[in-house]
Amino acid sequence: MAETAFAPWNDESATPLIQFKNVTKRYGDFVAIDNLTQDIYAEEFFALLGPSGCGKTTMMRMLGGFETVTEGQILIAGQDMNNVPPNKRAVNMMFQSYALFPHLTISENIAFGLKREGKPKPEIDARVDEMLRLTRLEKFAKRKPHQISGGQRQRVALARSLAKAPKLLLLDEPLGALDKKLRQDTQFELMDIQEKTGTTFVIVTHDQEEAMTVASRVAVMDEGQIIQVATPADIYERPNSVYVADFIGDVNIINGHATRAGDGYDVTYAEGTAPLHAKTSNDLGNSAKCALAIRPEKVSITAQKPSKAANTVKGKIIDIAYLGNLSTYHVELANGQMMKAQAANTRRLERRAFTWEDSVWLSWTDTAAIVLEA
């Protein structure tokens, strides 16, 4: 897979394209970005993910030159960008609203940036044609933005921002305005174009699925700080905090007390129950409060107590959410803790094994759960 081959962030000798060095941004008393340091490498597809107000958009607008840095430094290709206005940066941005100029045709929109550079006309025309081909918009070159569909507008915005062949392309919620089906198709198109052009993409999104699909690395942000930066698989499988585990996908969190045992920890969560065991390389010391995070799809649900599972708990089915291919069972444990377990619906609905109020066993392996600091 490409992801295993392309990992400049693990390479000590690689020089980053973008460096945030202790960057702080304040609006009056409000701290939007809090002493943030982060490297982004050339040809990465880097996603900034977080809830609204977490500072992801501010971070991107600082890269574009639309916001000034209060403290610290942003370097692009080693050059300090602090006093460089947006029109002097080799950075282009695709706006959330697309910001297509309504009075210009599609090809005039794409040519806009090239004309500002004062390139000769044949060269501009050639480049515009190339961009139209890349985004499959040849048929619409002479139309105005209101004469094309939302999906096509999105592609025009992309073509326009790529026309100047920027070192870095910023995408602000690029697919936010599209409906779900179109969004999924466009995600792959974006990845394809990113690969073809070799441009570094920084994307801002609040849609975790989108970030996971397109990005080479995802930065999960909260309150002006980056909580974790990792590949999509690592973010999902090895979150570094309850916040990240909870933000990405569905998760069961069991609060308890961890004591070191073997190559991991034993977690006691309720009196009179056997401790749960989880293998981990996280170091919480010998004894600490903790949160155990387990994805619902990694929890098996059975009528009889399984003999070989590392962790088993008993509970009662309170609710069943039928999703077609899957069912999610909400199970209440003896101590009142709610847990979700997901199972594939391999049999027809009427022959379902479990129903409401059934007593069931939940089980998972010792590598399924992650021990996190509480």
Partner 1 sequence: MRRFTWFNATSLTLGFVFLYLPMVILVIYSFNASKLVTVWAGFSTKWYGTLFQNEAFLDAAWVTIKVAVVSSTFAAVLGTMAAYVLVRGGRFMGRTLFSGMIYAPLVMPEVITGLSLLLLFIGIGFDRGMMTIILAHTTFSMCYVSVVVSSRLVSFDRSLEEAALDLGCSPFEAFRLVTLPVIAPAVISGWLLAFTLSLDDLVIASFTSGPSATTLPIKIYSAVRLGVSPEINALSTMMISIVTVGVISASLISKRAAVRQQREERAAERIDD
Interface positions with partner 1 (CB under 8 A) = 64-66, 85-87, 91-93, 95-97, 99, 101-103, 112-113, 116-117, 146-152, 160-161, 164, 182
**Contact status, residue 212 vs residue 235, Cβ threshold 8 Å:** yes
Least distance from C-beta 197 to partner 1, angstroms? 17
Least distance from C-beta 6 to partner 1, angstroms? 27
Angle at 241 between CA 235 and CA 242, to 5 degrees: 105
Q: Which is nearer to partner 1, 9 or 112 (CB)?
A: 112
Q: Which is nearer to partner 1, 114 or 220 (CB)?
A: 114
Coil, strand or helix: which one is 257? strand
**Contact status, residue 162 vs residue 170, Cβ threshold 8 Å:** no
Measured CA to CA, the distance from residue 179 to residue 214 in angstroms comes to 17
Least distance from C-beta 86 to partner 1, angstroms? 4
Q: Which is nearer to partner 1, 101 or 356 (CB)?
A: 101
Q: Which is nearer to partner 1, 181 or 348 (CB)?
A: 181
Q: Which is nearer to partner 1, 107 or 228 (CB)?
A: 107
Least distance from C-beta 370 to partner 1, angstroms? 40
The DSSP code for 55 is: S
Measured CA to CA, the distance from residue 12 to residue 373 in angstroms comes to 29
First to last CA, the chain: 35
Least distance from C-beta 46 to partner 1, angstroms? 19
Structure tokens at 85: 């206005």
Measured CA to CA, the distance from residue 290 to residue 370 in angstroms comes to 10
Least distance from C-beta 61 to partner 1, angstroms? 9
Least distance from C-beta 103 to partner 1, angstroms? 4
Please choose, from the candidates 73, 146, 156, the residue with its C-alpha nearest in 3D space to the C-alpha of residue 112.
156
Q: Which is nearer to partner 1, 64 or 239 (CB)?
A: 64
**Contact status, residue 362 vs residue 341, Cβ threshold 8 Å:** yes
Amino acid at 158: L
Q: Which is nearer to partner 1, 109 or 337 (CB)?
A: 109
Classify residue 296 by burial, with Cβ atoms within 10 Å: 0-12, 13-18, 19+.
buried
Q: Which is nearer to partner 1, 168 or 251 (CB)?
A: 168
Least distance from C-beta 191 to partner 1, angstroms? 19
Measured CA to CA, the distance from residue 331 to residue 301 in angstroms comes to 10
Measured CA to CA, the distance from residue 204 to residue 326 in angstroms comes to 30
Q: Which is nearer to partner 1, 16 or 113 (CB)?
A: 113
Least distance from C-beta 41 to partner 1, angstroms? 22
Least distance from C-beta 210 to partner 1, angstroms? 20
% helix, strand, coil for the chain, step of 5:
30, 35, 35
φ, ψ of residue 210 to 5 degrees: the values are -60, -45
Please choose, from the candidates 180, 276, 264, 225, the residue with its C-alpha nearest in 3D space to the C-alpha of residue 37.
225
Q: Which is nearer to partner 1, 160 or 183 (CB)?
A: 160
Alpha-carbon distances of 19 from 41, 50, 201, 283, 367, rounded to whole Å = 9, 20, 14, 29, 35
φ, ψ of residue 141 to 5 degrees: the values are -55, -35
